[in-house]
Structure 1
Amino acid sequence: MKKRSLAIPATIAALILATPAHAGGGGIGAIMGATLPEQLIQEVTLGNQYAQEATQTAQQVQMLYNQTRNLQSIPMMMWPSISGQLMNLVNVIGNAQGLSYATTNTAAAVQAQFGTPTGVLPNYGSSLQQWTSNFDSQIAGVLQTYHLNSSQFQNTQMAMSMIQQMGQSATGRLQALQAGNQLAGVTANQVQSLQTDIEAGNQAELNFMAMQAHSMTDQTNSVEPILTAPTQPGAF
C-alpha cells in the first residue's frame, strides 16, 4: 500500500500553533491535546498505519488458513501462531473503530470552530458513523456464519477471552481460524476504505480551515489601517 501525505496549506502553519483541539475520544491517545490541524494530520497517519497492519494481519491469517485447510482439526502445537494473529486482528479492529470515533469528533470540532462548510464536509461525520455501523454489521455477519454470537465479541477484552476459550478444543481452534480468516479479509477492506475516507476528508478540512483563516486575516488587515489612522481635526 502506497503511503500518501497531506498537502498542508501555508496558512495552517499558524493554526497548528494556535488552534486548540476539541477533546476527542476513541482511545487514540496520540492525538489527545493536539491542535486541530495536528489532530487532522495525525488521524491520517494512524489511518495509514492501521490499514497497513490490517493488510499484513490478513496475509498472515490467510497463510495459516492455507496451511490447515485440509485438516479436520487443528493441533494444539499450531495454536500459539494462530491465536497470536487473531489477537492482532482484534487489536486492528478496535484501533480502527476508535480512530473512526475520534475522527468523527474532530470533524464536529472543525465545524464548531470554523463554521459549516459547503461541499462534502457537512456529511463527513455521518459517513464515518455509517462506516462504523457497516463494519459492525459485517463483523456480526461473519461471526453468525460460523455460529458465533457477536455479543461475545463486543469489546477487545471479551474477544480475546473468547479466542482463548475456543483454543481449548480442536474443533474450536478450527472454527476460530475459519472465522478469523474471513473476518481478516473483511477488516483489511474496511480499514482501507476508512483510510481513504479520512485522507480525503481531513485534507478537505485542512483546506477549509486555511480558507477561513485567510479570510479572517484579510478582514483584519482591511480594518487595521482604519483603526490605527490618526484622527483628523473635525473628524467628529
Structure 2
Amino acid sequence: MTLKKSIVALGAIAALASTPAHATGMIAGATFPEQIVQELTAVEQYATQAQQLQAQFQMVYNQAMNLKNLPDQIWPNIAGQLQSLVTLVGQAQGLTYASQNTAAGVQAQYGVNGQSYQANLSQWNGNLTSQIQQALNSYGLQAQDFQTQQQALQQIQNASQSATGRMQVLQAGNQISGMLVNQLQGLQQTIMTNSQVELNAVGAKNAQDLQKNQINQSFLNGSTGAGFY
C-alpha cells in the first residue's frame, strides 16, 4: 500500500469514529479526517493537472519557436491554457489557506503542534508568488498587473491584441507552468507528511474516547463485575 493510500485509509477509519467536530476548510460541515483526506486528494489532483498543463505549454512553445512567430489560429488554445494556469495557481493557494485552517483546528482540539506546518504552507505561498513575479518581470510583464485572478485574466486578454504581447505571456506561462509542477510536488509531499501526523492524533484521541465511553457504558449497565451491588 502506498503512503497516500495508507493515509486515506487511516482518514476513513478516523472519520468513522470522529466526534462531530468540524473543520472550516474546503468542505462545509466536514469532520477533520474528511477535510484532511480532501486536502490530500486535492493536492494530488493539482499536481497532476500542473504536469499536464506544462506538457501542453511546452508543445505550443516549441511550435512557436520553430515557426519564429505565434500563428493567430493557435492563440485561442494558448489563451485557454493560460486561463487554466491562472485558475490552478488560485486553487493551489486556496488549498494552502484551507490546510492552515485545518492544522490550526487540529492543534486546538487534538494538541498536535501544527505551527511549523502552517509556517511551511505560508512560506510555500510566498515562494510561489515571488517566483511568478520574477517570471513575469523577466518577459517584460508587470507583476503588479497580475496580483488577482481577475487582473491576470484581463492582462491575458490585453496581450492578445499584439504579437509581442502574445509571445510574452506564452513565454511567461511556459516558465510558470514548469515551476508550478515542482512547487506542487513539494506541496504534495508536505501535505502528505503532515496529514499522517494529524490523522494519527485524531485516531488516537477517538480511540481513547471510545474506550472511555465503553467503560462508562459498562458501569451504567452494571457489568463491571460481581459484587458491584
Structure-2-length-normalised TM-score: 0.87
Q: 1:13 to 1:123 in 2, by over 3 A?
A: same
Select 2:188's aligned residue among 191, 195, 219.
195
The letter of the residue matching 1:114 is Y
Q: How many residues align?
A: 221
Q: Which residue of 1 aligns with 2:43?
A: 47
Give 1:4 shift: 3.3
Q: Which residue of 2 aligns with 1:139?
A: 132
Whether contact under 8 Å (2:128, 2:183) holds in the other structure is yes
Gaps of 5+ in 1: 231-236
Q: 1:123 & 1:7 partners in 2: Cα distance?
A: 25
Q: Which residue of 2 aligns with 1:234?
A: none
Q: 1:164 & 1:182 partners in 2: Cα distance?
A: 19
Q: 1:13 to 1:81 in 2, by over 3 A?
A: closer
Whether contact under 8 Å (1:19, 1:36) holds in the other structure is no
Whether contact under 8 Å (1:153, 1:159) holds in the other structure is yes
The letter of the residue matching 1:63 is M
Select 1:12's aligned residue among 1, 11, 14.
14
Give 1:15 shift: 3.5
Q: 1:3 & 1:10 partners in 2: Cα distance?
A: 14
Q: Which residue of 1 aligns with 2:52?
A: 56
Q: 2:124 & 2:16 partners in 1: Cα distance?
A: 32
The letter of the residue matching 2:14 is I
Whether contact under 8 Å (1:114, 1:212) holds in the other structure is yes
Q: 1:3 to 1:111 in 2, by over 3 A?
A: closer
Q: Which residue of 1 aligns with 2:85?
A: 89
Select 2:120's aligned residue among 127, 134, 138.
127
Select 2:33's aligned residue among 32, 37, 60.
37
How is 1:145-224 mapped onto 2 (pairs within 5 angstroms)? 145-221=138-214
Q: 1:222 to 1:89 in 2, by over 3 A?
A: same
Gaps of 5+ in 2: 224-229
Worse-superposed segment, 90-99 or 199-208: 199-208
Q: Which residue of 2 aligns with 1:80?
A: 76
Q: 1:208 to 1:169 in 2, by over 3 A?
A: same
Whether contact under 8 Å (1:73, 1:173) holds in the other structure is no
Whether contact under 8 Å (1:19, 1:37) holds in the other structure is no
Worse-superposed segment, 5-14 or 76-85: 5-14
Q: 1:13 & 1:58 partners in 2: Cα distance?
A: 36
Q: 1:100 to 1:218 in 2, by over 3 A?
A: same
Note the aligned Cα RMSD (angstroms): 2.4
The letter of the residue matching 1:4 is K
Q: 2:11 & 2:95 partners in 1: Cα distance?
A: 24
Q: 1:107 & 1:223 partners in 2: Cα distance?
A: 31
Q: 1:200 to 1:176 in 2, by over 3 A?
A: same
Whether contact under 8 Å (1:19, 1:35) holds in the other structure is yes
Q: 2:11 & 2:33 partners in 1: Cα distance?
A: 10
Instruction: Show CA shifts across 1:142-196 (max 9, x none).
Output: 1111121221111111111101100110011111111110011011111121122
Q: 1:13 to 1:95 in 2, by over 3 A?
A: closer
Structure-1-length-normalised TM-score: 0.84
Q: 1:54 & 1:9 partners in 2: Cα distance?
A: 26
Q: Which residue of 1 aligns with 2:227?
A: none
Which protein has the bigger helix share? 2
Q: 2:151 & 2:3 partners in 1: Cα distance?
A: 33
**Helix, strand or coil at the partner of 2:4:** coil
